[in-house]
Amino acid sequence: MRKLLVCLALLAAAPQTAVNLAGTWRFEQTNPSGKRITICVFEPRGSTFTGTFATLDDRGHIVRGQIHGNQITFDVQFDFDMSGKLTQYQGEMSGDDLKLTRANPPANRPSTEILLHKISSDTTYVPPPELGPVHKPFPPFKRIAPNGLALAPPMGWNSWNKFAGRVDDKTIRAVADAMVSSGMRDAGYIYVNIDDTWEGSRDKDGNIHSNEKFPDMKALADYVHSKGLKLGIYSSPGPTTCAGFAGSYGHEEQDARTWAQWGVDYLKYDWCSASAVYQRDEMKPAYQKMALALRATGRPIVFSLCQYGLLHVEEWGPTVGGNLWRTTDDISDSRTRMSEIGFGQEGNEKYAGPGHWNDPDMLEIGNGGMTHDEYVTHMSLWALLAAPLLAGNDIATMSDDTKSILTNKEVIAIDQDKKGVQAHRISQQGQLEIWARPLADGSQAVGLFNRRESPSPITLDLKSIGMTHAAKIRDLWKHRDEASAGASFTAQVPAHGVVLLKVK
Residues acting as catalytic residues: 270, 330
Q: How far is CA 8 from CA 25, 38, 93, in A?
A: 10, 10, 17
| C-alpha to C-alpha distance for 362 and 261, rounded to whole angstroms | 27
- Report which of 332, 503, 372 is spatially closest to residue 426, judged by C-alpha positions: 503
Rounded to the nearest 10 degrees, what angle do helices 217-226 and 169-181 cross at? 10
Contact 70, 88 (CB under 8 A): no
> Which residues are bridge partners to 425 per DSSP?
435
Phi, psi of 375, deg, nearest 5: -70, -35
Query: 40: how many CB neighbours lie within 10 A of its CB?
Result: 24
Sequence length of the chain is 504
- 26 sits in which H/E element: strand 23-31
Would residue 361 be called left, alpha or beta, if left means φ above 0 and alpha means ψ between -120 and 50 degrees? Answer: left
Q: How far is CA 242 from the centre of its chain?
A: 12
Q: How far lies 439's CA from each of 37, 186, 422, in Å?
A: 49, 22, 10
Chain center to CA of 371:
23
Contacts of 415 (CB under 8 A, 6+ apart): 152, 153, 155, 382, 383, 384, 386, 387, 389
